[in-house]
Structure 1
Amino acid sequence: MHMSECCEVSNTNRSAEHCPGCKSRGKSVGLLTLKSLLVPYALEQLETSLSYFFCGTSECTVIYFNERNVFRQDDIKVPCRCAVIMSPCNCSEIMSLWDRRH
């Protein structure tokens, strides 16, 4: 699988681009990123027909979101605020960082 596939985004609902926590505009994130980073119980809530967004605001508790779902740190396998420094599409780099720490 290529990195471009990691970053592919499904149909976007523009009204859902703003974080429900801090109201800042999120960055589109591909489903592969979410499938790689969400813990099992959060994966069960993942709706693959919807677009998802990443909130990079360090003070906000929301990490990924759309119009129906919100995923917070407890829903993510890695400490996700490190992703603020990286692109939210670098799922392989984030998982590599996590593997080195644990």
Structure 2
Amino acid sequence: MDSCCQISTEKPATPSQCPNCHQKGKSIQLITLKAMLQPTALETIHPEMTYNFCNNAFCGVVYFSDEQTFGKDMLKVSVFQKDDALDVPVCYCFGWTRERLIQAVQQNQRPIDHIREQVQANRCGCEVNNPQGACCLGNINTFIRSLDKR
């Protein structure tokens, strides 16, 4: 299995648009959908279809295909991009919530270094832990930079 945080050399497929907000989505692996959906929603997926992730914070849709959508209420976890609560993970693999990141930054710690070490040690499992199905390092960096601007 490839590391979830490795940069792919494959050309990504053209993303589809979310049927709710019309924002372009990011294609996700089927394993992510299977890991994130509650059992009743999981029973309705079409494994042969391509699913996408909608990261629009104001849209209730998390995953979509040409024929189907899954909202926030159909997932096992809260989605960082769609829930601004302090207890929502920014890094799902290693339990870094907004609150924990804020505390670490206030204590002059470097949480991004800790997370990078774990990623480099091949300990992340973003494809099954993170609803976006991809590495969280970009989200971590963006969130920490937003703290610096406060």
5+ unaligned residues in a row in structure 2: which ranges?
5-12, 83-89, 92-124, 132-150
Deviation at 1:77, TM superposition (A): 0.3
Higher relative contact order (CA 8 A, sep 6+): 1
Partner of 2:65: 66
| Partner AA of 1:27 in structure 2 | K
Query: Structure 1 length normalisation: TM-score?
Result: 0.69
Aligned-residue CA RMSD (Å): 2.5
* 1:90 aligns to 2:126 (yes or no): yes
Equivalent position amino acid for 1:46 in 2: I
Distance 2:3 2:69 in 1: 24
What residue ranges of structure 1 are gaps of 5+ in the alignment? 5-11, 96-102
Equivalent-residue separation in structure 1 for 2:16 and 2:68 (angstroms)? 12
Distance 2:81 2:71 in 1: 13
TM-score of the aligned structures, taking structure 2 as reference length: 0.48
Shift of 1:93: 4.1
Are the structure 2 counterparts of residues 67 and 27 from structure 1 closer, same or farther at C-alpha, using a change threshold of 3 Å? same
- The alignment status of 1:38 with 2:37, answered yes or no, reads yes
Q: Between the two proteins, what is the percent identity of the paired residues?
A: 33
Alignment of 1:1-102 (within 5 A): 1-3=1-3, 17-80=16-79, 82=80, 90-94=126-130
Report deviation, 1:94: 3.2
Checking the alignment, whether the CA contact within 8 Å between 1:52 and 1:66 is kept in structure 2 is yes
SS of 1:57's equivalent?
coil
Number of residue equivalences: 83
How far apart, in 2, do the equivalents of 1:91 and 1:27 lie?
13
